[in-house]
């Protein structure tokens, strides 16, 4: 019985940490680099005939040039709504509509803007690390509850805490690696 409960706590912890890492990846993808990327706009909510719909359900995306994103709506009637959603998103992009596709030209980033994006990314990375530590804290509380309620041995509790610490350190290292990659991407001219 004890081992099953411990395994459940550890599995839940692994899943929560994986979700935290995925969240950091999504947050990083939403920070604009000098290159065109559909991740910046694909989750924008478009008012499509009265229903709030993510843009990725309404259009295809292509990147014919490094600084150009082409949005090809499935329904040409949604062009105006898509264009309005992109304009209202305050991304610093001006959509140009030719009646068939919407083109988004990504302007080159200034050095100052790149530095401000690096600060934003560092903040998002720190938020991810805080989330991972919160998952670890929650798992420790669960283990302490098992110790009280199920009579888990002190040695087993110590072993599990070491495993949790190692797991947390590994995931924090993943966040650091993602941060280093995103920083390099942002500072690349």
> Do 98 and 114 fall into the same domain?
no
CATH code, domain with 133: 1.10.132.20
CA distances in angstroms from 58 to 11, 52, 53, 54, 152, listed in the order given: 36, 11, 8, 7, 53
Q: What is the pTM of this model?
A: 0.70
Q: Is 141 a residue whose pLDDT tops 80? A: yes
Same domain, 142 and 92: no
Indicate whether 48 and 99 sit together in one domain.
Answer: yes
Supply the pLDDT for residue 18. 95
SS3 call for 86: helix
pLDDT at 140 exceeding the cut of 90: yes
Residue at which a domain ends, from 79, 105, 131? 105
State pLDDT tens for residues 14-28. 999 999 999 999 888
**CB burial readout 79-118, b (16+ within 10 A) else e:** bebbbebbeeeebebebeeeeebbbbebeebeeeebeebb
Q: Are 165 and 20 in contact (CB under 8 A)?
A: no
Whether residue 42 sits in one domain with residue 25: no
Structural domain total, the chain: 2
CATH number for the domain that contains residue 92: 3.30.1360.40
Residues 90 and 46 placed together within one structural domain of the fold: yes
Q: Is the pLDDT of residue 3 over 70?
A: yes
pLDDT digits 0-9 by tens, 57-95? 889 998 888 888 899 999 888 888 888 888 887 777 788
Residue 1 has pLDDT above 50, yes or no: no
Range of the domain at 156: 2-30+110-187
Residues 156 and 181 in one domain: yes
pLDDT at 35 over 90: no
Please choose, from the candidates 11, 12, 9, 15, the residue with its C-alpha nearest in 3D space to the C-alpha of residue 143.
Answer: 9
Tokens encoding 29: 């993808």
Q: Are residues 92 and 26 located together in one domain of the fold?
A: no
Pick from 56, 72, 105: which residue ends a domain? Answer: 105
Average pLDDT, the chain: 87
Task: Summarize the confidence of residues 31-41 as an average pLDDT.
Answer: 74
Q: CA 127, CA 122: separation in Å to the nearest integer?
A: 9
pLDDT number for residue 170: 95
Q: How much of the chain exceeds pLDDT 90, in percent?
A: 34
Looking at 105, 124, 140, which one is the last position of a domain?
A: 105
């Amino acid at each position: 019985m004890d081992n099953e409960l411990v395994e459940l706590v550890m599995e839940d912890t692994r899943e929560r940490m994986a979700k935290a890492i995925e969240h950091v990846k999504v947050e990083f993808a939403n920070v604009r680099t000098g290159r065109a990327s559909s991740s910046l706009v694909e989750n924008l909510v478009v008012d499509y005939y009265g229903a709030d719909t993510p843009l990725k359900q309404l259009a295809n995306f292509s990147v014919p040039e490094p600084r150009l994103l082409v949005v090809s709506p499935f329904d040409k009637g949604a062009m105006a709504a898509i264009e309005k959603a992109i304009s209202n998103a305050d991304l610093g992009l001006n959509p140009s509509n030719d009646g068939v596709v919407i083109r988004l030209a990504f302007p080159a980033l200034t050095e100052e803007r790149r530095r401000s994006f690096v600060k934003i990314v560092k903040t998002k990375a720190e938020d991810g690390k805080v989330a991972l530590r919160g998952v670890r804290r929650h798992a420790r509380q669960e283990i302490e509850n098992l110790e009280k309620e199920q009579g888990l041995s002190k040695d087993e509790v110590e072993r599990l805490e070491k495993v949790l610490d190692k797991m947390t350190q590994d995931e924090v290292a993943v966040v650091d690696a993602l941060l280093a990659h995103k920083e390099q991407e942002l500072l690349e001219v």
